[in-house]
Amino acid sequence: MNSKILKKALLIVTGILIQNNVSAQMYISPNSYVFASNEVVFINQQLELNAATSNFYLRENGQLLQGLTSAGTNKGLGSLSVFQEGTTNNFQYDYWCSPVGGTNATVGNSPFGITQLKDIVDLTSSVSSTPLAMNNYNGTASPFAIAPYWINKLTISSNYSSWFQVGANSSLNAGEGFTMKGTSGTNATTVNGIQNNPGSKQRYDFRGKPNDGIIAIPVAIEQFTLTGNPYPSAIDLSAFLLGETNCTAIAYFWEQDPTVNSHFIADYKGGYGAFAPGTLGSAGTYVSATFYSYDGSGNEGSAGASGKNYERRFSPIGQGFLIDGKANGFVQMKNSYRVFAKEGPSSSLAKFAGNIITPKSNTGYMAKVQSVSGFDYSSVSLAPTPQIKLNTLMNNQGVRQLALTLIPEATDGIDRGMDAMSSSDSTPADVYFVLEGTDFVINAINFDIDKKIPIGFRNDKAANYKITVKEIINFAGVNTVYLHDKVKDLFYDIKNDFHELDLPAGENNTQFEITFKSNSTLGVEEAAKESFMIFQNNLTKNLTIDNPLLMDLETCGLYDVAGKLIFVKKDLGVDASYKFSTSGLGDGIYIVKLTTKDKLVVGKKVIIKN
């Protein structure tokens, strides 16, 4: 282990630390404590919190790393305490994985229960919460009360009915993730300048025996398991996913529409974003969720909004996520995946607000990260994984996001850790890449301008789709992106425009593909389209269109990047120039679509900054 970590740990130990002739490498005697603030403590082997009055406090990004390569051997009646924040809304789920278990003298990790979540009083003191009755669904911030009705876990299953209700029982084993809804109201207690619940997020004190060592997590082929980061330190999620070959190396994160205040399943709007790590030398790729409502059986119904994009390379303390099995057996959480990486000042599991601040240097590569494995993080590029993000607006409701990642090591088949399968199989409308007959939301390819990437559509009734390239990230080799209709042999520019299509009920996995060139040369019609000059003047807050050929314009529509109509102007005539005010619009990328009397259609993306 890097000796720098151990040296730094010794510098921040405060209180009374007694090293007796005991088997533990760090032994905290009765009426003693260790206090680590904004620093890392490294213990090569085990920790003994000898008595109920033996305490270990992690504050302000303080973290504990351990180097044991076997099963955990921590023991004692004392507690490690670490703060973490979740949603304040008692209608929204957080996905957690506890960093601690029950306090007992037994060697090894212990089961966890929500009675170990405390209400913070001051820097070192907390008070217990009394779980609400099972028929009370609304947790509160003051008095601090959690509704155990919403505590559930999921182990090797793909069925909604297989979620197992844990409630207030202390039966969550180390590495088992769980769902929990937040609390409502406010809690004015302020510690270190942070209010326990200001009405935007709830801070919890996790107290118990810290988890350590190898933790076995059951998986099965094409079945989901809810797990997460089980340690009182950050983990390198990419290293875990790529290292544990019994899973598909993709992590799925729950995102939920915060505007829906209901406990009825049919009203829920949520979905899973997908993270593909790619390689250990990259930041990986994340595609956000589409927010679907759900029926009483857990089947996804109508689509709503879309989630946001987040960094996922490192997972903070307590973060829960789903993994998908590739083989029957176990994956293992190990100390070798643990790192000292800090969260952002406003990060919380509920908001997924970047979660971990990526350690950056001025060289274009990540700054050094203290880790148990000794991996050289300064070899990890800060540049985003080259990718093309596609957004598809489905029935003018939810936006399905897809990512086409451009990785030299990728094949045209399924690449573990690079291609992410869709977590949706019962949606009323969906779009996806088609890989070996299966739906994927992230597709990694070795870029070639002649590549053709199959894309599929599935809808249980007639549906409308609007598809466009949202953005091209860190890749200059793409000049054009088309949706090719192989039946009509027509190519639609989706880099500068969106293409709208109406499809009958059913599954269509063969008619469409993404290409980077068309089979036509620039003709008279294309030359006429090229003559239009469309640009946004942000100084005057006007959209300007120059029409040098004086073509007869029928309509000019402005759409957001998802394809939702902002405004439309009709019967514009044959003026040489047009100006439309954009002063009332928010900053962002918009699509201008012109239609002439001769039915020529011209699209162009503009950036509006007001």
For the chain, give every domain's residue range: 26-210, 524-608
Percent of the residues in the chain that have a pLDDT greater than 70, as a whole number: 91
- 431 by DSSP, 3-state: which? strand
360 vs 543, higher pLDDT: 543
Percent of the residues in the chain that have a pLDDT greater than 90, as a whole number: 70
Instruction: Identify the pLDDT of residue 160.
Output: 63
* Mean pLDDT, residues 220-225: 94
User: CATH number of the domain at 524-608, please?
Assistant: 2.60.40.3080
Give me the numbers of helices (H) and strands (E) for the chain, helices first please.
3, 50
Using pLDDT thresholds of 50, 70 and 90, give the confidence band for residue 484: very high
310-357 pLDDT tens trace: 789 999 999 999 999 999 999 999 999 999 998 876 544 443 334 676
* Cβ within 8 Å of residue 524, ≥6 positions away: none
22 vs 256, higher pLDDT: 256
pTM over 0.85: yes
Under 8 Å between Cβ of 275 and 253: yes
Determine whether 595 is exposed, middle or buried from the number of CB atoms within 10 Å of its CB (0-12, 13-18, 19+).
Answer: middle
Q: For residue 24, is pLDDT > 90? A: no
Closest by Cα among 431, 341, 438, 417 to 61: 341
363 vs 144, higher pLDDT: 144
Task: Examine residue 99 and say whether the peptide bond preceding it is cis (omega within 30 degrees of 0).
Answer: no
Mean pLDDT of the chain: 88
Whole-angstrom distance, CA of residue 267 vs CA of residue 373? 45
User: For residues 64, 68, 70 and 71, what is the CA-based torsion angle, rounded to 10 degrees?
Assistant: -30
Using pLDDT thresholds of 50, 70 and 90, give the confidence band for residue 425: low
* Mean pLDDT, residues 36-48: 94
Instruction: Identify the pLDDT of residue 467.
Output: 95
CA atoms within 13 A on the CB side of 438: 13
Instruction: Identify the pLDDT of residue 406.
Output: 95
* Mean pLDDT, residues 25-39: 94
Instruction: Identify the pLDDT of residue 345.
Output: 62
At 192, the amino acid letter reads N
68-126 pLDDT tens trace: 999 999 999 999 999 999 887 889 999 999 999 999 889 999 999 999 999 999 999 99
437 vs 19, higher pLDDT: 437
Q: For residue 1, is pLDDT > 60? A: no
Which residue's entry shows tokens 């609007």?
Answer: 466
